[in-house]
């Protein structure tokens, strides 16, 4: 069995984006709701709390928890943000695979694979480019084998 | 090879809805004219653009009808479409999972039949090919497909009609009646003014409620009328659909015939049947009667007004007998793992939310908009009733939900909204297994198991409140290794 974990750089980029969005939202609240002191402080506190919650706890936990396991017969994903999920799909049921990669995905880790089967799909998120290539090859071989 | 065009009735379905929106006011204004040439000229001057559009729609529909041809022989059916860009669908009978031929009342009068052909290639739940044929052509195709299947000794099941009436009378679901009513109202609303329709229904209900208000509170009357009429409609439609039901099993196919007003004939390939499903309502569960459904591409697809039934509602003993004869490879349902005793919150969460929301809305109206009390009170009662019924169904579900494996098959018992399912699926038809844990379930050591099976309809078999460790052990023992280890090795 081969195991794949998520690329940490994707987490750092998302955390950076969360920091920017939190900062921008807090600035807008401070700029336009300055005359409503209590409301302004409450909203800024909520934004900062949500930013910290996702950036320092939930997303790192998600990245730490998510593992993709590939064996000869099946593919399993252990993942989850608030709801933990264990998903397993038999490779012989796979029909085709979709790969989605952003520009500079080799650095950012924004590589996604979607396995389509008759009756369900499975998403493999934030993969390293080499892991994505390997998984894509293995899945394509399984799909071709299933057709034979 | 026999070739033909579709039934001319198809021409009408190729005209768009705008055709009817145009033709009704045009006909009405023409009808209201006085018999004078000048009046006709004035009408023509005002309506020439509408007439032009009408003519274009008719011409387009006629060309479209002319451009569709079908042909079939002993081994395949070919459907050709298009004027400039032509396409050709060629389906071999050996690849057909389901062929359905239906005739509603109007079609029977006009000698037309709708033919649906489903294969395992479909990604959507609609039939792969839908053709409206002349009745003779449909019969010829049916015989050709039947002729391509293996000849063997047949076994037929004809449900007892008296039992069908009694069971339909007692176990017809008001919910399915509501679905029929909503569909009916929606279709009527497309033709009539929706506001007029709504006012008519409300006036009728209010009048009926006022008449008996001396004896019964109006809210109870309105709810009772809705439930009883939905149930009655469900009962009548059940009888019409399942009267004359015949199930015939051959070595490689299952033949189903049914219907009084709408006549249906289906041929299903047995090896393409994904799973069998014993469906029950709350009452039928209590009295141990059920109906037998199958999942097979093209049969009972959501895109059509049709059920995937292979045996209408009857006793459990008869159902078991039918499974033994028609699907002998399917084992008796075996449940090895049942719900966790502490997992009641998984079952009651939705009923609590659905009860709390109308209660909250009612509270808002009561305190902030007291003038709306008269409207809010019946609305609250109407929304509360389904939530309470859901809580009752979930209570029963708590004691029956579970799954098990035997002889290469998986049995799942669960409830979805108000319907109870017992699904038996071959292990090799399981596409995906998901074990999900909410934060509360993590504390109690329980989980929700979701199983997805090979099917065009992408069904989700969801079992709540199962003990996690035992579920993992049971899946692992049957080839689904779902233990978690975050170690990358």
Closest of A77, A143, A69 to residue B434, by C-alpha: A77
Picking from B119, B462, B481 by the largest number of A CB atoms within 10 A of its own CB, the best residue to mutate is B481
Mean pLDDT of all residues belonging to chain B: 83
What are the tens digits of pLDDT across the range A85-122?
Answer: 999 999 888 888 899 999 999 999 999 999 988 778 89
What local confidence, expressed as pLDDT, does residue B40 receive?
78
Q: Residue A66, Cβ neighbours under 10 Å: how many?
A: 20
Q: What does DSSP say about strands A84-90 and A94-101: parallel, antiparallel, or unpaired?
A: unpaired
More confident of the two residues A2 and B194: A2
Residue B403's pLDDT band, with cuts at 50, 70 and 90, is very high
What local confidence, expressed as pLDDT, does residue B400 receive?
94
Question: Is the predicted pLDDT of residue B310 greater than 70, yes or no?
Answer: yes
Within 8 A by CB and 6+ apart from B380, the residues are: B358, B359, B361, B362
Contacts of A84 in chain B (CB under 8 A): 436-437, 442
Cross-chain Cβ contact A78/B486 below 8 Å: yes
Average pLDDT on B195-218 reads 66
What are the tens digits of pLDDT across the range B475-486?
Answer: 999 999 888 765
- The full set of domain ranges for chain B reads 2-66, 89-159+245-326, 169-239
- Nearest-angstrom CA–CA distance, B404 and B412: 7
B137 at interface of A, judged by CB pairs closer than 8 A? no
Task: Map residue B226 onto helix, strand or coil.
Answer: helix
Cross-chain Cβ contact A119/B485 below 8 Å: no
Compute CA distances B8 → B87, B135, B139, B298, B483, whole Å: 21, 12, 17, 25, 60
For chain A, list residues whose CB is within 8 angstroms of any CB belonging to chain B.
Answer: 3-5, 64-65, 67, 71, 73-74, 76, 78, 80, 82-90, 92-93, 117-120, 122
Partner residues linked to B426 by β-bridges = B409
Alpha carbon of A77: minimum distance to chain B alpha carbons (Å): 9
Residue A148's pLDDT band, with cuts at 50, 70 and 90, is very low
Nearest CB among B428, B439, B488 relative to A5 is that of B488
- Nearest-angstrom CA–CA distance, B70 and B276: 33
Contacts of A80 in chain B (CB under 8 A): 436-437
Alpha carbon of B483: minimum distance to chain A alpha carbons (Å): 8
Contacts of B445 in chain A (CB under 8 A): none
Alpha carbon of B329: minimum distance to chain A alpha carbons (Å): 22
- Nearest-angstrom CA–CA distance, A28 and B455: 49
What are the tens digits of pLDDT across the range B21-64?
Answer: 777 777 777 777 766 777 778 877 877 888 888 888 888 889 98
What local confidence, expressed as pLDDT, does residue B76 receive?
92
- Nearest-angstrom CA–CA distance, B17 and B91: 31
Question: Is the predicted pLDDT of residue B165 greater than 70, yes or no?
Answer: yes
Question: Is the predicted pLDDT of residue A57 greater than 60, yes or no?
Answer: yes
Cross-chain Cβ contact A74/B480 below 8 Å: yes
Nearest CB among A4, A78, A88 relative to B433 is that of A88
Alpha carbon of A25: minimum distance to chain B alpha carbons (Å): 29
Cross-chain Cβ contact B431/A85 below 8 Å: no
Q: Among B132-146, B166-180, B231-245, which stretch is predicted with the lowest mean pLDDT?
A: B166-180
Alpha carbon of B291: minimum distance to chain A alpha carbons (Å): 24
Cross-chain Cβ contact A64/B435 below 8 Å: no
What are the tens digits of pLDDT across the range A129-146?
Answer: 999 999 999 988 887 764
Contacts of B454 in chain A (CB under 8 A): 93, 117-119
Within 8 A by CB and 6+ apart from B428, the residues are: A90, A92, B408
Average pLDDT on B459-482 reads 92
Within 8 A by CB and 6+ apart from B194, the residues are: none
Q: Among B89-103, B106-120, B155-169, which stretch is predicted with the lowest mean pLDDT?
A: B155-169
Q: Among B21-25, B180-184, B302-306, which stretch is predicted with the lowest mean pLDDT?
A: B302-306
Question: Is the predicted pLDDT of residue A43 greater than 70, yes or no?
Answer: yes
What local confidence, expressed as pLDDT, does residue B304 receive?
46
Do B321 and B247 meet the contact criterion of CB atoms below 8 Å apart? no
B349 at interface of A, judged by CB pairs closer than 8 A? no
Q: For B484, phi and psi rounded to 5 degrees?
A: -100, 135
Cross-chain Cβ contact B431/A65 below 8 Å: no
Q: Among B180-189, B423-432, B475-484, which stretch is predicted with the lowest mean pLDDT?
A: B180-189
Closest of B279, B289, B58, B270 to residue B169, by C-alpha: B289
Question: Is the predicted pLDDT of residue B305 greater than 60, yes or no?
Answer: no
What local confidence, expressed as pLDDT, does residue B16 receive?
67
Question: Is the predicted pLDDT of residue B191 greater than 70, yes or no?
Answer: no
Tell me the angle at which helices A8-32 and A37-52 cross, rounded to the nearest 10 degrees.
180
Alpha carbon of B373: minimum distance to chain A alpha carbons (Å): 33
What local confidence, expressed as pLDDT, does residue B381 receive?
78
More confident of the two residues B15 and B173: B15
Average pLDDT on B428-453 reads 92
Partner residues linked to B92 by β-bridges = B76
- The full set of domain ranges for chain A reads 2-63
What local confidence, expressed as pLDDT, does residue B335 receive?
93
Using the CB atoms, write b or e for B54-87: b if 16+ within 10 Å: beebeeebeebbeebebebeeebbebeeeeeeee
What local confidence, expressed as pLDDT, does residue A37 receive?
87
Question: Which residues 426-485 in chain B show a CB within 8 A of chain A?
Answer: 428, 430-439, 442, 452-456, 458-459, 479-482, 484-485
């Amino acid at each position: 069995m081969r195991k794949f974990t998520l690329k940490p750089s994707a987490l750092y980029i998302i955390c950076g984006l969360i920091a920017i969005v939190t900062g921008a939202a807090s600035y807008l609240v401070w700029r336009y709701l300055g005359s409503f002191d209590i409301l302004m402080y409450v909203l800024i506190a909520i934004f900062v709390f949500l930013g910290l919650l996702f950036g320092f706890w939930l997303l790192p936990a998600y990245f730490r928890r998510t593992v993709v396991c590939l064996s000869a017969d099946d593919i399993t994903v252990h993942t989850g943000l608030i709801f933990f999920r264990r998903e397993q799909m038999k490779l012989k049921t796979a029909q085709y695979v979709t790969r989605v990669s952003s520009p500079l995905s080799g650095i950012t880790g924004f590589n996604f694979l979607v396995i389509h089967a008759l009756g369900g799909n499975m998403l493999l998120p934030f993969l390293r480019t080499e892991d994505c290539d390997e998984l894509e090859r293995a899945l394509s071989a399984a799909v071709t084998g299933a057709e034979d | 090879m026999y070739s033909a065009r579709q039934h001319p009735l198809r021409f009408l379905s190729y005209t768009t809805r705008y055709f009817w929106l145009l033709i009704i006011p045009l006909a009405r204004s023409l009808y209201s004219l006085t018999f004078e040439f000048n009046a006709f000229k004035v009408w023509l001057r005002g309506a020439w653009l509408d007439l032009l559009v009408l003519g274009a729609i008719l011409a387009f529909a006629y060309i479209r009808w002319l451009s569709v041809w079908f042909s079939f022989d002993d081994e395949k059916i070919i459907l050709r479409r298009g004027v400039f860009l032509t396409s050709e669908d060629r389906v071999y009978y050996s690849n057909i999972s389901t062929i359905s031929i239906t005739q509603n009342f109007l079609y029977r009068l006009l000698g037309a039949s709708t033919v649906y052909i489903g294969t395992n290639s479909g990604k959507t739940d609609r039939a792969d090919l839908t053709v409206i044929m002349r009745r003779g052509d449909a019969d010829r195709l049916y015989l050709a497909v039947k002729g391509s299947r293996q000849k063997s000794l047949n076994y037929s099941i004809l449900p007892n009609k008296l039992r069908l009436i009694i069971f339909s009378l007692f176990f017809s679901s008001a919910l399915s009646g509501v679905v029929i009513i909503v569909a009916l109202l929606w279709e009527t609303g497309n033709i009539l003014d929706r506001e007029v329709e709504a006012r008519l229904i409300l006036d009728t209900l209010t009048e009926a409620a006022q008449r008996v208000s001396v004896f019964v509170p109006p809210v109870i009357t309105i709810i009772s009328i809705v439930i009883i009429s939905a149930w009655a409609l469900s009962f009548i439609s059940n009888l019409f659909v399942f009267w004359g039901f015949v199930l015939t099993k051959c070595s490689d196919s299952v033949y189903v015939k049914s219907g009084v007003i709408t006549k249906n004939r289906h041929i299903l390939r047995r090896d393409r049947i994904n799973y069998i499903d014993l469906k029950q309502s709350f009452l039928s569960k209590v009295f141990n009667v059920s109906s037998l459904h199958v999942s097979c591409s093209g049969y009972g697809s959501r895109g059509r007004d049709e059920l995937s039934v292979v045996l209408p509602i009857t006793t459990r003993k008869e159902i078991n007998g039918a499974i033994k004869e028609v699907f002998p490879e399917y084992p008796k349902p075996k449940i090895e793992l049942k719900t966790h005793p502490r997992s009641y919150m998984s079952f009651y969460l939705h009923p609590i939310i659905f009860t709390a929301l109308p209660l909250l809305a009612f509270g808002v109206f009561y305190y902030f908009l007291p003038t709306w009390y008269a409207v809010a009170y019946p609305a609250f009662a109407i929304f509360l009733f389904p939530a309470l019924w859901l809580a009752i169904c979930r209570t029963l579900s708590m004691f029956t939900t579970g799954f098990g494996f035997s002889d290469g098959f998986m049995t799942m018992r669960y409830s979805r909204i108000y319907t109870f399912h017992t699904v038996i699926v071959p292990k090799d038809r399981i596409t995906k297994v998901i074990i999900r844990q909410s934060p509360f379930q993590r504390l109690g050591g329980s989980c929700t198991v979701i199983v997805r099976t090979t099917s065009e309809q992408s069904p989700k078999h969801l079992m709540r409140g199962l003990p996690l460790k035992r579920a993992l052990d049971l899946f692992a023992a049957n080839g689904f290794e779902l233990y978690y280890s975050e170690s990358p090795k």
